[in-house]
Each structure stands twice: as structure tokens, then as C-alpha cells.
Structure 1
Amino acid sequence: MKAIGFVVAVGSLTPIPITAQDWTQREFPLAPPNSSGNFVAPYFDGFYPNADGTYTLSFGFMNRNDEELIEIELGPNNFIEPAEFDGDQPTSFPTVRYSGFGGPRERGVFGVVVPADFEGDVWWTLTTDGYTTRVPGRLVSPGPIIKGAYELSTGPMAAGTLRPTIHWHEAAEGQWGLEGNWKPETLTAMVGEPISLNFWAKDRGERELGTVNVSLWKYQGPTGGNISFESLVEAIPNARARRGARQPGPGPLLTRQTVNLPLEGPHAHHGRFTATFDTPGEYVIRVKVDSFGLTDSSPGHQCCWSNGYIRVSVNEE
């Protein structure tokens, strides 16, 4: 039997086949996600003050599909206003699934730093197949002026966990934060030939220091261009396992999978990976370092992770 829906009009009751209606998950946001065909929504996660008086606005996203990777190039379908803040947002939006309050959202993917006297909103707009969603980042809540309603903590969590640091040279001072530590140099690569990715990441919690988890993401790049990551990090004996972690030891690394960096030894705190590209173009790799797995740290807690970004220019063979 064919299912039908009904639209009530004055003086009539007209059946309309459900198949003829454009009823998608966009109209039912609490419906179970489909494997593909849905949109990406931008999110404002809050802000935190910086030591120099500026503020960092934190943005993330939710891909409402179960499987489909969505890519939206910078431009009319993916932009930030005011224009001075545009250009450093992601163009690649994979699906994620975290436990607990983390859910299907990827929080704190990038940060926008605004001056101390900033007023107004920073808008991020995304359009997926003609369907547009946008979100404002702001320092005050709507309605009554309440400064700090969206403020994120930068202090230690209940058990002392803080955002870890990331740096590009072993002797360099590490940086932490969602606005990210951008590697100063742009790497160059050839299609099909692996390049080395090296960085150092350290726990800075006010407790016994632990290992840091690392995941690598395609952040920007040509639509359809794939990056194959491989870990060179040796397995850590008796390391604390966490959900989403790959099998310890060298080998391929998928998006969202994590690797524990060693605390001791010749490669202490050293992230050693390779990246291989199948399409030429300009890419950005996101390096996410986190302390998830501790009792006071998870995506749902809005703590504790930091971002790093690596630009790579890839040429034909």
C-alpha cells in the first residue's frame, strides 16, 4: 500500500503522496542520520580571552551524514564575515562520532582571533547543495547584554588537565589553543610520493603528566583529493587505550584515528608521520593533539585539545 500524507485546506482534504513532498532530514533534525545526502552545519562553540587582551572565537561543524564526506571550497558556499577573518576555515567535513556528550560534532576545529575592542558578530556561512546554514560567533549573548555567557575556560579542569602544546621543532616553545599553531614553512610534495610530517606535542596538565593523542585530518585541499597518512610512531608499552585509537605501532592512520606519543625515549613527544597525496593542489593538514581519555577531558567538556596546521603544495608527478 502506498503511504500518503495530508494537507488540510479550507473546504477540502487533499491527499498528497509522501514521495512527492520534499521532506528530508532538514525538516526533521532529530531523525536518525542518513548515510549520505544531508548537509553540514557550522557551530559556534564559545570564546576565551587571550593574554594580550584579544579573544579567540571557537568554531566547529556537524556533518549530518553517517558516512559521506562533504567538501565545500572556499568562496560563496563557504565564507566568513567580516572578510578580514575569511580563508582559514576548513573545506573538508568528515563524519565524526564521539561517545557521551561529544556526539556527531567536531568542536574547536579552528579559532578566529578578534581584537579586545571587537563589537558585533563573526558569521560563518556554509551552503550544501543549495541549503544554507550560518552561525554567528560573538562575545555577548543575545537579548540582555551578558558578556561571558559563551566564555570557555582556559584553566585546569577538575583533575588538572589543560590543553596540550604543539610545536614544529624539538627545542621550540610549544603553543596551545584552538586558533592553531601554523607551521611557518609550506611543504612541497609530488603526487604519489610520501612526505615526512614532524612535530612535538606535550601534556601540560597540573597533575602527573600523561601521553598526548594525535590525529591527522585533511583540512583544506582540492575537492576529491585524498591524503593517505601513515604513522611511524612505535607502540608504547602498557599505554592507556581510548575509543577511536588505532592498533599501536607503525602503520596506516585513518581520519579520526589517534596515536599515542611516547613520554620517554629517543622519540619522546615526537609525532612522526608521512602523508601521500593523489591529486595536485594546495592543501592544509590539521594536526589535532588532545588529552582525551582522562576523566576530565573529552570533546563534550570543550577540553582539552589544541590545533596545528601544515600547508602543503602538491605538484604533478
Structure 2
Amino acid sequence: MGSHLRWLTSAVVGGVLIASMHARAQGQAPSQAPQARPFPTEVSNTRFNSGQSVVPYFEGWIRNPDGTFDLVFGYFNRNWKEELAIAPGPDNKFEPGNPDGGQPTYFLPRRQRWVVRYRVPADFGKKTLTWSITANGRTEKTYGELIPAEELTERVLMTNGNFNPGESDPNQPPSITLAPLQNVVAGVPVTLTASVQDDGLPKPRPVAPPRPPPTDGARGVIAQVNSSGQGRPRGLRVTWMEYRGPGKVTFGASGPTLVANGQASTSATFAAPGTYVLRATANDGQLSKFTDVTVTVKPGASTQGQ
């Protein structure tokens, strides 16, 4: 009992000493508790198909040539299947300032990085921009600030977060434009066409032939093979996503589509009438560039009254 009491006393004293040293390192008296912001809800390892929150993320900031700054945000939809439409307003807002900062209103499952840039003036200084999202009854927030350690470059975004992106690399990102869509009706597929130009770098690697699945020689049982990299398009390609919209958009291509003769196409079907923003991203294997297109969808025969 005596040794246990001595251990407990030492632990308490040690904890107080460490807390005191930490407070002094922060320029505070030991009795002053720092103002801590609430952390996002803990991301559990348990998989939930639906019913979970959407956590906004502050990715960093970019310095613009005119002296302004772009605060860059992404999000993490904790659901594995549920896609949520959350219009700008009380449940999806930036503050202070205009609550509609061009953020996504349609949230795809899991992690989506570098999705929105919010421009702030040159005199933003030590101010804070808050993005809050309320989904399934839970509000999550993130805070954008001009912290020096979180400065990004355009090249980092183009490489999807490679912090050694090779600024002197001669490779330039592809350019991409989308043809406008007219007379779009809910429930009726339309064709999306992206025009893509690139400098041809890097040279696309040939697709390796699929390897035969290994077998267990002792039992003759075919072993499971992770084929996620088999047959994926290499070289210049385009991916499609819904950025804003009141309902789900179903694309004909579930993954990247190769660019052929400067174009990549897929189909899109809009579940409900309204205004949508679609995003197409061109990727040459190292660098990427995206563009958005706004689509107005009219009610169809099966969506009248929605």
C-alpha cells in the first residue's frame, strides 16, 4: 500500500510539473488554462454506412500574386455510403462574412481533399475563418488561419498533396474545358464532354498485363489478389464528381476515363431538378487541374412535383 501511495503521489506531482512547464512555454502562468477549440468528433474505425457527420478540414493556405490569400478546405464524410445534400445556410456556412463561400453542397463519402478555396483580403492577418457543417444532427467545425507552417503552393495542390512536388520539373498541368449542357431533364441521361490539352509529360507507362493469380501449392486453392491497380487507365485521364446539387448525379464512368483525341466523355443522370455544379479533373499522372460547369436541370415526367 505504501509503495502504491508513493507512486501515485509521484505521478500527480510529475503531472503538475509538466503542466506548469507547458504553460510557461506558451507564455502563460501555470494557473492560466489555454483557450482550446473543440476537436472534431473522433473518427472511429467502425464502418457506418449512414447516420454519421461530415467533418470539414482546413488543408492550408495559398499566397496570391495580388497580395490576397486563399484558404483551402476539404471534408471527410464519415459515412461509407450515405451522400448528403446540405445547402448553404445554417447547416453549411462560413463565418464571419458571406456564409456561401462556394463550398460544396453535395458531400460524397469519405475523404475529399482540396475541394474549396475561400479568398480573403491582404489584411486578413491573424483573423480566423470558420467552416461549420451540420449533418445527421451533429455539427463539426474547422478553422482557417494564416499559420506559416500551413502555407501551400499551387504545385502542391496540383500533385494532390506531394510536399516535394518538383517546382523545376518541366511538366505542366493539363488544361480542361467542359462543353455547356442545354435542355437537361431529370432522369434522362446526358453526355458530358471534356476537352483536354497537355504537354505530353510524363510519358504514359504501358499497362502491364494482368498476372495470373497465385495458388496455394499444397491445397490448390486460389489465393485472393488485390487487383485494385490492374487495368486502371494510365496517362492523361479525367475524373468526374458532383460538387453542388439538390440530388444525386449518376455518372456512366465509375472511375477515370482516358482522354482520346483530346476528349473524354461520360454520361450523367440527374435524380432531381435544380441547379448543379459538376467538377471534371484532368490528370496527366503527376499534375492535375479541374474545372466546374453549372447545370440547370428541369423536372422530368417522373420528377414532376419534386
After TM superposition, is the score higher than 0.5? yes
Deviations 1:86-134 (A, max 9, x none): 24111111124xxxxxxxx211011112222223122111011221111
CA root-mean-square deviation: 2.8
Q: Which residue of 2 aligns with 1:228?
A: 250
Q: 1:97-176 to 2 correspondence within 5 Å?
A: 105-119=111-125, 120-140=127-147, 148-155=148-155, 157-158=165-166, 160=169, 163-168=173-178
Structure-1 separation of matches of 2:100 and 2:132: 11
Pair 28,61 (structure 1): closer, same or farther in 2 beyond 3 Å: closer
TM-score in terms of structure 1 length: 0.61
Pair 152,164 (structure 1): closer, same or farther in 2 beyond 3 Å: farther
> Equivalent residue of 1:149, what SS?
helix
Pair 85,139 (structure 1): closer, same or farther in 2 beyond 3 Å: farther
More helix by share: 2
**Which structure would you say has the larger RCO, counting Cα contacts within 8 Å and 6 or more residues apart?**
1
Structure-1 separation of matches of 2:294 and 2:145: 28
| Conserved 8 A contact 2:60-2:72 | yes
Q: Which residue of 1 aligns with 2:188?
A: 193
Q: Which moved further from structure 2: 40-49 or 114-123?
A: 114-123
Establish whether residue 312 from structure 1 lines up as the match of residue 295 from structure 2.
yes
Q: Which residue of 2 aligns with 1:212?
A: 236
Structure-2 separation of matches of 1:305 and 1:58: 16
Q: Which residue of 2 aligns with 1:279?
A: 272
The one-letter amino acid paired with 1:124 is W
Structure-2 separation of matches of 1:314 and 1:152: 36
Which residues of structure 1 form unaligned runs of 5+?
1-25, 97-104, 141-147, 170-184, 230-251, 298-303
Q: Which has the larger radius of gyration?
A: 2
Pair 27,193 (structure 1): closer, same or farther in 2 beyond 3 Å: closer
Structure-2 separation of matches of 1:272 and 1:115: 38
Structure-1 separation of matches of 2:131 and 2:92: 8
The one-letter amino acid paired with 1:92 is Y
- Aligned pair partner of 1:95 in 101, 105, 109: 109
Q: Which residue of 2 aligns with 1:289?
A: 282
| Conserved 8 A contact 1:35-1:65 | yes
Q: 1:256-271 to 2 correspondence within 5 Å?
A: 257-262=255-260, 267-268=261-262, 270-271=263-264
Pair 138,290 (structure 1): closer, same or farther in 2 beyond 3 Å: farther
| Conserved 8 A contact 1:91-1:220 | yes
> Equivalent residue of 1:43, what SS?
strand
Pair 204,46 (structure 1): closer, same or farther in 2 beyond 3 Å: farther
TM-score in terms of structure 2 length: 0.63
Shift of 1:35: 2.2
Q: Which residue of 2 aligns with 1:181?
A: none
Number of residue pairs aligned between Structure 1 and Structure 2: 220
Structure-1 separation of matches of 2:61 and 2:275: 29
Pair 220,28 (structure 1): closer, same or farther in 2 beyond 3 Å: closer
Structure-2 separation of matches of 1:164 and 1:54: 25
| Conserved 8 A contact 2:280-2:291 | yes
> Equivalent residue of 2:202, what SS?
coil
> Equivalent residue of 2:98, what SS?
helix
| Conserved 8 A contact 2:253-2:267 | no
The one-letter amino acid paired with 1:153 is T
| Conserved 8 A contact 1:155-1:162 | no
